[in-house]
Structure 1
Amino acid sequence: MPLDFNVKLIEEFRTNAGRLGGPFEGWVLLLLTTTGARSGREHTTPLGFVEDGDRLLVVGSAGGSDRHPDWYRNVLAHPTVTVETGVDTWRATAVAATGAERDALFARVVAAAPGYADYQKATDRVLPVVVLHRIPVSDYTPPNRLDALADELVKIHDWLRGELAALAEGLAAPGAAELTVELRRHCLTFCAGLAHHHGGEDAGLFPYLAREFPEKAEVFERLRVEHEGVARALDGLRELLARVDETGPGDLRPEFDRLRAELEAHFAHEEAEVLPLLRAAAPAP
């Protein structure tokens, strides 16, 4: 859609809680806000969608043009997106389907909205199908005591260890010819959760403890460097996941194994150094 067309449509959509009038009356759309693959800036695009259980399907049709739409390129680089339906706004993980899974989902889309079949006939490009998985809103409240925070840190690490084990099992599953939407979603959700966890430590917890325990400056510098190493490993994992048409479990496994080894060592080091400080900084009962 032309930019000025999009701007007017977005404005009307948001003003009228998703209801459109005039030439757009009866259109059922969502607004997808993505992060630019190169610019890093947010971009909002009106898109048709098809419901598929508790997830939504959107198609990179671009009106049947021979070029993938920009929003699709964006979600390959940055899979965390914002979805607006007019009555609800939520964060989602956007995962492109591939192979037989993509074909089955496209058939489901065409059954609900036959116009997409015409778009596919207009181009030799395989129209991508992207699955939008809602990211649950956490009701977690950070502990207001440092000793409780120490316990919570262990719980978070144990959850991340469990996710690593589950991902390893999925990647090693016999007969897995390609990465399914669910497996890629699991990987991307894990990456986002880990990045959020480390971002919170770098922005809040570690600076606080560094002020309380200046003699431990080298410890927090090493932890910061470890976070940078993990971030690079996450970038490598996301890059492989973005190449949805050529990535398989065999290509992904070495990068995942490297990330898992780094994380196991990092968690052990962090718990050995940080937990005693949290316990020591906690006020006496």
Structure 2
Amino acid sequence: MPPASFASFNQSVIDEFRANSGRVGGPFEGSELVLLTTTGARSGKPHTVPLGFVRQDGADGGHLLVVASAGGADRHPAWFHNLLAHPLVRVETGTGEYEAVAVPAEGARRGELFAQVVRAVPGYGDYQERTARPIPVVVLQRTHQAPPGGEEGIAGKLLDVHGWLRAQVALVREEVRGGGAAGGGGRGSIGLQLRQHCLAFCQSLEFHHRSEDAGLFPYLAERHPDMREFFHRIGEEHRVIARLQEELVRALDAPGEGFSGRVERLSRELEAHLDHEEAQLLPVLRTLEG
């Protein structure tokens, strides 16, 4: 099928999926599908594809498995390259949607999960026979959600985002302490589980700080000129954290002995920064909305 025709077909499936709570007809009639939205590795734009899935055996909360088969082609599909660059994805099930971190399985674990997939959907075994590349199996792991703060408005949104960031950095720290920095590639390597969670956290934190610097802080500084010095100090904290993030992301490719120390330092700096920001900003935001 030509690329333009394939894109048009995909869009028709997506539209039907969303219009009918996940049910589609045609070649997919009776099949369970999800819509996976990734961020373009080069374009940075959202890219949505309909995919079949298999529920992971024994997974707490029902992680979903999607397979980068591309119909047995010799190249990985574009969405797989996207999630390696931007691991945080959006999953639509027809009855709901959620954020997940996409983690390709490695080594023996990939073999186990692919065997599970083939037992459920034998056609994936046929696809593997058509190509020499090991077809990736990707686990869609729901992001750790912070407990709901129960507060409305901008103050509530800030607390929700900060809670999410705290939960994610705690997960990364737990992965490192559990040996994730050793990965599947030997001493000094990073496992894909840790890499994907670390990258998702760092990219989300960078986006949050850019949004504050470009939007929230100028808005508040206009209304509270007496707080300009505070926003200057917060901006400096953002720059310190940004440098630590950049070092950590670079270290994902060559972690060395100091990787766990980088994670711990970023975690400490972030916790102190979030505490400082909340102590000063929340009373102001609550007054504005009161």
- 1:92 deviates by 1.9
Q: How many residues align structurally? A: 272
Q: For residue 221 of structure 1, what is the aligned residue in structure 2?
A: 232
TM (normalized to structure 2)?
A: 0.72
CA distance in 1, matches of 2:27, 2:276: 63
1:206 and 2:210 equivalent?
no
Question: The residue matched to 2:23 in structure 1 has which SS?
Answer: coil
CA distance in 1, matches of 2:86, 2:35: 16
CA distance in 2, matches of 1:273, 1:18: 41
CA distance in 2, matches of 1:275, 1:266: 14
1:22 and 2:22 equivalent?
no
With a CA cutoff of 8 Å and minimum separation of 6, indicate the structure with the bigger relative contact order.
1
Q: Which residue, 58, 71, 77 being the options, matches 2:79? A: 71
CA distance in 2, matches of 1:193, 1:105: 29
- 1:45 deviates by 0.8
Aligned residues with identical type, % of pairs: 46
Q: For residue 171 of structure 1, what is the aligned residue in structure 2?
A: 176
Q: For residue 133 of structure 1, what is the aligned residue in structure 2?
A: 141
Question: The residue matched to 1:86 in structure 2 has which SS?
Answer: coil
Contact 2:234 2:277 in 1 (8 A): no
Indicate the larger mover: 254-263 or 56-65.
254-263
Q: Which amino acid aligns with 2:38?
A: T
Q: For residue 47 of structure 2, what is the aligned residue in structure 1?
A: 43
- 1:164 deviates by 4.7
1:97 and 2:108 equivalent?
no
CA distance in 1, matches of 2:54, 2:75: 22
* Unpaired stretches in structure 1, ≥5 consecutive residues: 242-246
Alignment of 1:51-90 (within 5 A): 51-52=55-56, 53=59, 54-90=62-98
Contact 2:40 2:47 in 1 (8 A): yes
CA gap 1:156/1:18 in 2 versus in 1, 3 angstroms: closer
CA distance in 2, matches of 1:240, 1:80: 19
CA gap 1:166/1:62 in 2 versus in 1, 3 angstroms: closer
Q: Which amino acid aligns with 1:114?
A: P
1:13 and 2:17 equivalent?
yes
Question: The residue matched to 1:251 in structure 2 has which SS?
Answer: coil
Indicate the larger mover: 84-93 or 212-221.
212-221
CA gap 1:84/1:144 in 2 versus in 1, 3 angstroms: closer
CA distance in 2, matches of 1:35, 1:259: 25
Q: Which amino acid aligns with 1:171?
A: V
**1:59-105 superposed Cα distances (whole Å, 9 cap, x missing partner):** 10001111110000111111222212222222222122212222221
- 1:111 deviates by 1.5
| CA RMSD, Structure 1 to Structure 2 (Å) | 4.1
* Unpaired stretches in structure 2, ≥5 consecutive residues: 185-189
